[in-house]
Amino acid sequence: MSDLDLNLRPEKLSDFIGQTDLKKQLAILIAAAQKRDQPLEHLLFYGPSGLGKTTLANLLAKEMKVNFKITAGPAL
């Protein structure tokens, strides 16, 4: 992933445009995990390219203050 790609991505979940219902649900999950001082449960984003799956995963990692590693199903 290029530096330009990373620089264009939002920094916070609230900066992510669209997917209003999903963002509300993710915000609840994040708040609950942080309140319990535990990691998020397993999440799986799926769908065609360009929907923001990687961006959302990156935002979740930032909100939870954890590392993030990108992979793809075929690579596993």
Reported as type and span, the H/E element at residue 8 is: helix 3-8
* Full domain range(s) for residue 35: 3-75
pLDDT per residue as tens digits for the range 20-48: 999 999 999 999 999 999 999 889 888 89
Write the burial class of residue 59 (CB in 10 Å: 0-12 exposed, 13-18 middle, 19+ buried): buried
- Confidence band for 65, pLDDT divided at 50, 70 and 90: very high
Whole-model pTM over 0.85: no
CATH number at residue 52: 3.40.50.300
pLDDT score for 5: 65
Total of domains in the chain: 1
Between 72 and 35, residue with greater pLDDT = 35
pLDDT score for 75: 84
pLDDT score for 72: 76
